[in-house]
Amino acid sequence: MYRVLIEGEEKEYPAGTTYQEIVKDYKEKKEHEIVLVTVDGKLQELYKKLKKDCEIRLVTTAEDAGNRSYVRSVTQLMLKAIYDIVPKENLEKVSVLFSLSKGYYCKVKGEVIVNQDFLDRVKDRMLELVKEDIPFKKRSIHTDDAILLFQGHRMYDKERLFRYRRVSRVNIYSLNEFEDYYYGYMVPSTGILKYFELYLYDEGFVLQMPRKKAPTKVAPFEPQQKLFHVLKESKEWGERLGISTVGELNEKISKGKLNDIVLVQEALQEKKISEIARMITEKKQSKFIMIAGPSSSGKTTFSHRLSIQLQAHGLNPHLISIDDYFIDRLKCPLDEFGKYDFESLRALDVEQFNVDMMALLKGSQIELPVYNFKTGKREYRGDYLQLGKEDVLVIEGIHGLNDALSYTLPKDSKFKIYISALTQLNVDEHNRIPSTDGRLIRRMVRDNRTRNITAKGTLDMWDSVRRGEEQYIFPYQEEADVMFNSALVYELAALKQFAEPILFQIEKSDPCYAEAKRLLKFLDYFLGMTTEDIPKNSILREFVGKGCFPV
């Protein structure tokens, strides 16, 4: 018998009891489904068995790890349903491409017509599988066997991925006879997966799923046309470069062909920035270039590069950071946890910002503020500005797209740009890389290099950062005149060498350890690359250093 501390009480269970048996005693006490547990801080699937005295914490679908497990499992459920209703010889490939709305945009390649009838049949089959409550079975096989297995299944992206895996074994998940590989843990069985929807969209469909805030509700599908266009364009860029998956990137690195990829990718971004500058120039009344995006999107470097292109197009840009309009720190509003809420619009002196911008628009001279982050006060240091005919302001900050920030400015005087690192690379055809992970790794590397903040420090604040993005940035992204994707197809191979050492510093006893381990496992998919040949003006330089801009 082993002693288990769970939910504040101590119980005894026989050796070999599965965690699924243990959590049955607590099912009624939890509002949401228990899909995983942590055992002495280590994340575990429910089929695993009790081997020692331990402390167990229940993980539900209302938590990040639980929600990721649910989403991953619904994805395999959807794939099995497609493979069940379409003859194997007619099915060339099913791809889970990128996030859209609250789900995944997917495409089917082969002798298949993706229409409403097809989606109805897929959904019906998924619901049948949910009713059958089929267990997700996991087995470990040698990596060489995994290569042969997925070659036989015609899942060639997985075959290529495993050719560059350092580990000798691979975990395979199966639903009856349907086998697949997933980056992360699964729920115990299909009976849990009751909440999902399928929507036709563009050339494919969207698999819509709940998020952790509302684990039993599927949000209505809201097409995001501008975001979708940028994601689709970025995917096409990756395909032209011959890099859509991690396996293809590793292949380029191993064969010494990455330098051309870096140059072409950077050229594509420069071309896009030049096109944006042309659009601004053609819109003669644009005086305020408002740039916004989530954390670690590369807003500062983008602002500098856009300014250079604006000069090349005959304009005279002036960079302004909205952060310089912060109110004094002691007057800053507090969040629900009693901490300063620097993400809130109320943390800015919106009134003064509008007074200054309107004065500039009318041709008056103003003195620009500078926020002193050490003292927490706004200062004036004799930096005067007056706008001439060819002058424009390049204004960067998280609230740039929200008209509540610039409520007095005429609409046609503003040109809005949304920037984010929208990762176009996937692990393989069924495992996508969340853009959030790419930005988190960027920020971790930059925080450590420029502010001496540990990986633990970045992880501790990340939830707060994400809450701010959800509230103050994402609702306004479709209001942008143009969107820019700052993600670089090669960047995770470059960031790997900086991120891994600081993630390894997190101790097993730390609450952040499970997340650190997840990110380390993720980075292990990539072959590393040197940063020497990355151009000095690259957006990636904002994070790895040695760039040409003062960021």
Which 8-state DSSP code applies to residue 219?
P
What element of type H or E holds 101? none
Measured CA to CA, the distance from residue 175 to residue 214 in angstroms comes to: 26
Closest CA to 425 of 474, 491, 516: 491
**Token pair listed for 379:** 């200062």
Residue type, 78: M
Which 8-state DSSP code applies to residue 404?
T
Closest CA to 312 of 347, 276, 337, 339: 276
Coil vs helix vs strand at 348: strand
One pLDDT digit (tens) per residue for the chain, 551 residues: 999 999 889 999 999 999 999 999 899 889 999 999 999 988 999 999 999 999 999 999 999 999 999 999 999 999 999 999 999 899 999 999 999 988 999 999 999 999 999 999 999 999 999 999 999 999 999 999 999 999 999 999 999 999 998 889 999 999 999 999 998 999 999 999 999 999 999 999 999 999 999 999 998 899 899 999 999 999 998 988 999 999 999 999 999 999 999 999 999 999 999 999 999 999 989 999 999 999 999 999 999 999 999 999 999 999 999 999 999 999 999 888 888 888 899 999 999 999 999 999 999 999 999 999 889 999 999 999 999 999 999 999 989 999 999 999 999 999 999 999 998 899 999 999 999 999 999 999 999 999 899 999 999 999 888 988 999 999 999 999 999 999 999 999 999 999 999 999 999 889 899 899 999 999 999 999 999 999 999 999 999 999 999 88
491-503 vs 246-254: helix crossing angle, rounded to 10: 100
Measured CA to CA, the distance from residue 366 to residue 376 in angstroms comes to: 22
Would you state the pLDDT for residue 101?
87
**Token pair listed for 288:** 């305020």
Measured CA to CA, the distance from residue 161 to residue 428 in angstroms comes to: 7
In angstroms, the Cα distances linking 296 to 47, 147, 176, 299, 551 are 38, 36, 42, 7, 12
Would you state the pLDDT for residue 270?
97
In angstroms, the Cα distances linking 331 to 156, 171, 342, 371 are 57, 53, 11, 14
Measured CA to CA, the distance from residue 21 to residue 4 in angstroms comes to: 13
Residues in the chain: 551
Residue type, 84: D
Which 8-state DSSP code applies to residue 545?
S
Q: Under a CB-based contact definition with an 8 Å cutoff, are residues 126 and 196 in contact? A: yes
Helices (H), 286-349: 299-312
Q: Which residue has the tokens 């990718």?
A: 265
Closest CA to 402 of 461, 482, 475, 503: 475
Residue 299: CB atoms within 10 Å: 26
Q: Under a CB-based contact definition with an 8 Å cutoff, are residues 149 and 141 in contact? A: yes
Closest CA to 10 of 60, 52, 55, 59: 55
Which 8-state DSSP code applies to residue 53?
S
Q: Under a CB-based contact definition with an 8 Å cutoff, are residues 192 and 76 in contact? A: no
Contacts of 65 (CB under 8 A, 6+ apart): 36, 43, 59, 185, 514
In angstroms, the Cα distances linking 353 to 2, 228, 328, 369, 379 are 63, 33, 14, 10, 14
**Token pair listed for 15:** 């050796």
Coil vs helix vs strand at 147: helix
In angstroms, the Cα distances linking 292 to 295, 303, 344, 375, 544 are 10, 10, 14, 26, 22
**Token pair listed for 205:** 């469909």
User: 384 burial class (0-12, 13-18, 19+ CB within 10 angstroms)?
Assistant: exposed
For every residue of 447-497, DSSP letters joined together read: HHHHH---HHHHHHHHHHHHHHHHHHTGGGGGG-SEEEE---TTHHHHHHH
Measured CA to CA, the distance from residue 312 to residue 337 in angstroms comes to: 47
Spell 41-54 as b/e; 16+ CB within 10 A means b: eebbbbeeebeeeb
Coil vs helix vs strand at 29: helix
Q: Which residue has the tokens 């952060």?
A: 323
In angstroms, the Cα distances linking 132 to 107, 127, 136 are 26, 9, 12
In angstroms, the Cα distances linking 321 to 75, 300, 367, 404, 417 are 41, 9, 14, 17, 14
